[in-house]
Amino acid sequence: MQGVLASIERVGNKLPHPFILFAILAALVVVISAILATLGVSAINPQTEAEVTVRSLLSADGVEFMLTSVVSNFVNFPPLGLILVVMFGIGLADKVGLMSTLMQVSVAKAPPLHADILRFHGRYLRQHRLRCQLPHPDPAGGDGVLLGGQAPRGRGRCCVRSSWRRV
């Protein structure tokens, strides 16, 4: 299992920025349209039963089509509006500090069993060389300190100075 996760992480780290991926895929669509138009590929539209041939996006008409229909394609894609609103909301909540406050409050009010589970997951992630995302950063430069340096119920392990120590 550890080898599979390590290989997934290696592949994920090699991927370029999402905007670059989008640009590569858009260019690939343009090139494929030119190749299929040259080969004369066509299909039958199931709604109208008419034959539709592939048009090259590299031609003058294709470039004009791409530039004039970009806004209508953007606006007429139904899930996009919901995704944009959710992403704006999450970004705003993160920038104004709502997310970190929510994490602090939820950890502070958590029952002892939940704190033990959080501590276990933090230790597990630490052992697998992933950073713990705990609500209070460690001033000594570690990954994080649970509840300002205090372990839940006054015992257990905290993530301090990038290592685990008994509290």
Task: Please tell me the distance from the alpha carbon of residue 61 to that of residue 40, in angstroms, as a whole number.
Answer: 16
Q: What type of residue sits at position 114?
A: H
| DSSP per-residue codes, 111-148 | -HHHHHHHHHHHHHHHHTT-----SB--TTSSS-BTTT
Summarize pLDDT for 22-45 with one digit per residue, the tens.
999 999 999 999 999 999 999 999
**Domain residue ranges of the chain, discontinuous segments joined by +:** 16-98, 110-166
Give the pLDDT of residue 131. Answer: 41
| DSSP per-residue codes, 63-130 | HHHHHHHHHHHHHT-HHHHHHHHHHHHHHHHHHTTHHHHHHHHHHHT--HHHHHHHHHHHHHHHHTT-
Q: How confident is the model at residue 96 (pLDDT cuts 50, 70, 90)?
A: very high
Other CB atoms within 10 Å distance of the CB of residue 122? 22
Other CB atoms within 10 Å distance of the CB of residue 160? 19
Mean pLDDT, rounded, for 117-144: 54
Give the pLDDT of residue 160. Answer: 41
Among 2-6, 14-18, 29-33, 126-130, which is the least confidently predicted range? 126-130
Q: Which of 51, 58, 61 is nearest to 36 (CA)?
A: 58
Mean pLDDT, rounded, for 79-108: 87
Give the pLDDT of residue 63. Answer: 94
pLDDT at 146 over 70: no
User: Could you tell me what percent of the chain has a pLDDT over 70?
Assistant: 72
Task: Please tell me the distance from the alpha carbon of residue 101 to that of residue 107, in angstroms, as a whole number.
Answer: 10
Residue 162 CB burial class (10 angstroms; 0-12, 13-18, ≥19): middle
